[in-house]
A and B are shown apart, each in its own frame.
Chain A
Amino acid sequence: MGLNYYQIKKNILRARKLVIKGTNAAGSGHPGGSFSMAEILGCLFYKHLKFDPKNPQWANRDRLVLSKGHAAPGLFSNMAVAGYFPDSELETLRKFGSKLQGHPDLKCPGVEFCGGSLGTGLSYSIGVALAGKIDSKDYHVYTIIGDGESDEGQIWEAAMTASKYKVDNLTVFLDRNFLQQDSYTERIMPLDEKLEGDDLSEMWKDASRWKTGDKWRSFGWNVIEIDGHRVEQIDAAITKANATKGVPTMIISRTVKGKSLEHMEDNPLWHGKAPDTDIVPIINLELDSQFMIAPSIIAGDMTNLENEIKKCVSGRSDYIHLDVMDGQFVPNKTFDHSKIKELRPLTVIPFDSHLMINEPVKHIQDYIDAGSDIITVHAEVTDESSFGEIHDLLKQNQIGIGFAINPDTELPEWSYKFISSLDQLIVMSVVPGKSGQKYIEETHTKMNRLNSILKQYNFSGYIEADGGVNLENIGSIFADGARAFVGGGAIIGQQDVRIAIREFRDEVLKSRRGTLLDKANELGGIDLVNKWIGLHVIGEKQEQIKKIAKEAGYI
């Protein structure tokens, strides 16, 4: 489909919700492993995979083999989003007469492999890839295997075979979520090293202990190691894999089982269990409340922006905010597209180019060519016609579409018709033009006004808060509806960007947990509040949530 970063994320969210819908309706199924590979499937379905939902047997289609077949709800949900069948089909999951069987099955047109018995999908994929080579077809085979699944000896039989036959039209993802049915993989059958004690997070953090990549390298594979929840890393890895000739590629994707729901994350209990009906609305709200945090590099050392980018990378920022100022629309001048182009090769982290310039329509192509992932232009310097042109150009180039309003600007009426296709709306909470200003409190009430308009016109992008965001106010800005946060001095100005971002994240989480507690209370009173809190059994979460619930007077 070739969607942009934001649209891919949007589809991944929709698919996650369908996993919840399907497993809840079925009363069983495997949400944990469906969520750990959600971003992998998203990048495949909405960017790289060649397929035609109207003609599932199209001879030149790319093949997607889900070897870890128990994660079928994840596959089916994405197939629905991709247009193979309506979303409502997920309600038949695992039921008598449904084509959506408990495990992927050819009964469902578009499914390539009957998964279920683990360890076999890789061998199967080799057969499919070899057939493509015999027939000189240029389709590619993408396969997803699990880490628990890698206990199976056949995986390693296949690893040797793919290498021997130089099956370079095969790319495999290892969904490395560190969990299998019984417990942690490193306890049941270590792929890296045997886990002593219970702290899985130590395995996750300490890259020096990861040995799985070496295993695959020693089998003759091209190995790429990534964070399997970062769309841009998956995207780049696929591109690299497709360009690699003569050897198969293994993309080791470090993931979190149950990713994006706090009570499911890293929790072995959610390997094969469906969410209860009363929890589903809270889950959906949590899924709708995903957020991103980005440093604004102009708050750093303007003479060495390369270094500021490196700080963003090591700080694991979700994206990087680039304030382009022309000295006319705003008094200050920062940099232009040529600088962005210079910075682009330093990282695959998305670039959010915020154009604070006059007549953006004249320059938009330069910023596209510079490698921006999303480009935001200001309401003050566009009109229906020029924004329409920008909108179309960005769409054609699969770039995110952003729109910004200054503190004194209301959303112009002419822009309403574009609202549903916006990927981002920046609500400036300082007067643009320089960093280091204080958050304008009036923005809170402005956000309230905006929310009703955005809802009315089906906005489905991110509201980005830009200006004066800090640890004290980020929680309330989240509560206003912002889902992307730009931090200037409060992030990039800090000694350790990674810690600064984590602190921002913790504050947003705190606010989000409060919202979710409110929702639980609204739907089911104290019983549901307690039930939801009780689901959080991993790590310190439960104690932290209880504290918030106490402060809110629920318990």
Chain B
Amino acid sequence: MNEPIMTDMRSEYTKTLIKVGHDNPNVVVLGADTTDSLKTSSFGKEFPNRFFNVGIAEANLVTVSAGLAASGKISFASTYAIFLPGRAVDQIRNNIAYPSPLGKKGLNVKLVVSHGGLSVGPDGGSHQQLEDIAIMRVIPNFRVFIPADTISVSKLTHLMANEYGPFYMRMARSKTPLIHSESQEFQIGKGITLRDGTDCTIAACGITVRMALEAAELLQQEGISCRVLDIFSIKPIDNELLEKAARETGCIVTTEEHNIFGGMGSAIAESVSESYPVPIKRIGAQDMFGESARDNEVPLLLAKHGITSFNMVKQVKEIRSKKL
């Protein structure tokens, strides 16, 4: 595979927000003292009366966003992953997801976070959110995205602005390799097949998508045909695509920087076990917390939790022997 082009999700997010903000005067952006880090402060420069920095007060951030949304605004509220689902779940549930104006489901708030997963690096385990997908997945009315690259970020930000209702989108802290082309379509609840294959499927999201593609490449060299799916829409999940993968490839390896309990792997296992049960192996944090790692050591941290293309290769080989 070619050396990837690395781009920054946070910059792309705010760049898109500003575009969306020009198109739609109802878009408002809120932050909690991480607005320079998230880059959303530049939205504030462009639209000073539609930008609110509530300080280090995440519960307040969520609920003020809800109040704006209840009054016709489209609220984008952003900070680090660890401080939203990890901290303000009551407000997320009771102030955004639960209140449903007649004929609608939830309020029109988009929670877009950065610093998801282990790849946060040096800040350590206290800042590495490995539980957010599990938390957000069980809250009714929320839709949950993990974009793999900046093209996904841009397309999904547009999509969220145009689609009524609560969304959660988790971005990575570090620059990520470009995966998709500009022409790629993104739809709620539709996964993307990045590479076809017949012997096994690797389903990935976020930064693990690139690893999955590398693993498939390595497997190809050993004569194993591996399908790779980008499951950016974790909720709703693409039941159809997953059933097809189960039926056609007979086994699935899932990979994510999240606890294997309750994350994308769990969501896929739930889906496939109801549609076309096949052996599934979940790669991710094995019910453990993270720890500090300098940026150049992040691969070591990920490796500690088995999140590497080599482990994906290994797991694919093992799971193939368990095919029904």
Residues of A within 8 A of B (CB): 63, 105-107, 109, 112-114, 116-117, 119-120, 123-135, 153-154, 157-158, 160-161, 165
Contacts and interface: CB of A to CB of B under 8 A. Distances in A.
Contacts of B70: 112-113, 124, 127-128, 131
A127 B71 contact: yes
The 6 A-B pairs of least Cβ separation, nearest first, read A127-B67, A131-B71, A123-B63, A157-B60, A157-B57, A124-B67
Interface string B267-311: 000000000000000000000000000000000000000000000
Given A106-B100, A109-B102, A127 B65 contact: yes
Interface of B: 28, 49-50, 52, 54-55, 57, 59-60, 62-73, 75, 90-91, 94-95, 98-102
Contact of B63 (A105, A116, A120, A132): A120
B99 to A, nearest CB: 4
Contacts of B28: 131, 134
* Of A120, A124, A131, most B-chain CB atoms within 10 Å: A124
A125 B65 CA distance: 10
A7 to B, nearest CB: 31
A133 B50 CA distance: 10
Task: Report whether over half of chain A's contact residues are helix, strand or loop; otherwise say mixed.
Answer: helix
A120 B95 contact: yes
A102 to B, nearest CB: 13
Nearest to B68: A127
Contacts of A123: 59-60, 62-64, 66-67, 91, 95
Give the dominant DSSP class at B's interface.
helix
Contacts, number: 103
21 contacts: A107-B100, A113-B70, A117-B91, A120-B59, A126-B64, A127-B63, A127-B66, A127-B68, A127-B73, A128-B67, A128-B71, A129-B67, A130-B64, A131-B28, A134-B49, A134-B73, A135-B72, A153-B59, A157-B54, A157-B59, A158-B60
Contacts of B90: 117, 120
Nearest to A65: B67
A47 B219 CA distance: 75
A113 B95 CA distance: 8
B57 A127 contact: no
Contacts of A120: 59, 63, 90-91, 94-95
Nearest to B99: A114
Contacts of B67: 123-131
A113 B60 contact: no
Given A123-B59, A135-B71, 20 more contacts: A106-B99, A106-B101, A106-B102, A117-B90, A119-B59, A123-B62, A123-B66, A123-B95, A124-B63, A124-B70, A126-B64, A127-B66, A127-B67, A127-B70, A134-B28, A134-B73, A153-B59, A161-B54, A161-B55, A161-B57
A296 to B, nearest CB: 49
A109 B69 CA distance: 17
A153 B91 CA distance: 13
Contacts of B98: 114
Contacts of B62: 123
Contacts of A129: 67
A140 to B, nearest CB: 13
B228 to A, nearest CB: 42
Nearest to A56: B102
Nearest to B55: A160
Contacts of A114: 94-95, 98-99
